[in-house]
A and B are shown apart, each in its own frame.
Chain A
Amino acid sequence: MRDSLRRLAARASEEGLLDVAYTSADSPFGPLLLAATPRGLVRVGLPNQEPEQLLEELARRVSPRVLEAPAALDEARRELDLYFEGRLRDFELPLDWRLSDGFRLRVQEAIAAIPYGETRTYMEMAEAAGNERAVRAAGTACGRNPLPLVVPCHRVLRSGGGLGGYGGGLEMKRGLLALEGTLDR
């Protein structure tokens, strides 16, 4: 049965019927859910997020043609593995931004440009997205980041130096900042 399902995913991909491919991937913080469209990585689910809910959301917002297809996410998994080992600073895989738009998308694009090993404040992100007074909205945009880790919202902190929030939990945020050598710096 496993072979049959693998063959099905491969044929679906060949025939352009694999709208959303997903797999789970190990990380030091627990299992991640990775999902991609033919355009690129579309969703990263953190260990504390329910995979079923994320997949239902993808079915609703992208396409119900959602299939488990690990091969389609080999590159994403490879880059994330290297990142967690501290051997990759910049992700190169293509991203599909379709789950965001407007101000949120601008904030998230600004987050994507924060270099490895650096941090920014929510206010700086609001400013970068074109509205320095929309600090709260910038915080929401960080929280709604569909591509955490790859779009490094863990690098956004409070102006006073506080950690702020994180979709994957503060312990994970602290762990990621420690990995990048920016914790309590």
Chain B
Amino acid sequence: MSSLPPFQTLLDAHAGEVMALLRGAVGREGAEDCFQDTFLAALRAYPELEDGRNLRGWLVTIAHRKAVDHHRSRGRRPVPVAEVAEAAVPGPEPGEGVWESVGTLPPKQRAAVTLRYACDLPHAEIAAALGCSPEAARRSLHEGIKRLRRELA
């Protein structure tokens, strides 16, 4: 017999965070569709889930996939930018306060920051999701973090 908690408890605990994450990753307009897709996919797979110990991580992973799908389906074109040196940047701990600030970043920076720190994607995958070069992804990420630091300081 499964010992998974009622699915509603996942919604109660994580719906706000997932929505904030998606708003960061794809913007306010796309977030609602991604949110529905995320939780419907989760609900479909839920009874077969074998390990119920990290349900938050599981939901975030699904949300990240839906965000990547969203960007891919919009077929973003590569944007050429100059190469920049990469700076090591500490990631913000996920929390709704931080994500609200993330939501105010320009779209590309916002998406890069969310895919990197909420979804834990490597630069190459962020680049693929955003349809840009890895260098451009790095740059968006770097600029986004710089701006967040200023705002949250």
Contacts and interface: CB of A to CB of B under 8 A. Distances in A.
Given A17-B40, A65-B43, A59 B11 contact: no
Q: Interface residues of B toward A: which range?
A: 20 to 34
Interface stretch (B2-10, B84-92, B97-105): B2-10
Contact of A5 (B5, B15, B40): B15
B7 A66 contact: yes
Contact of A17 (B1, B2, B35, B44): B44
A148 to B, nearest CB: 21
Q: Interface residues of A toward B: which range?
A: 20 to 34
B16 to A, nearest CB: 7
B4 to A, nearest CB: 4
B40 A58 contact: no
Given A1-B15, A60-B2, A64-B46, A8 B40 contact: yes
B69 interface: no
Given A5-B11, A65-B47, A67-B7, A60 B1 contact: yes
A63 interface: yes
B6 A4 contact: no
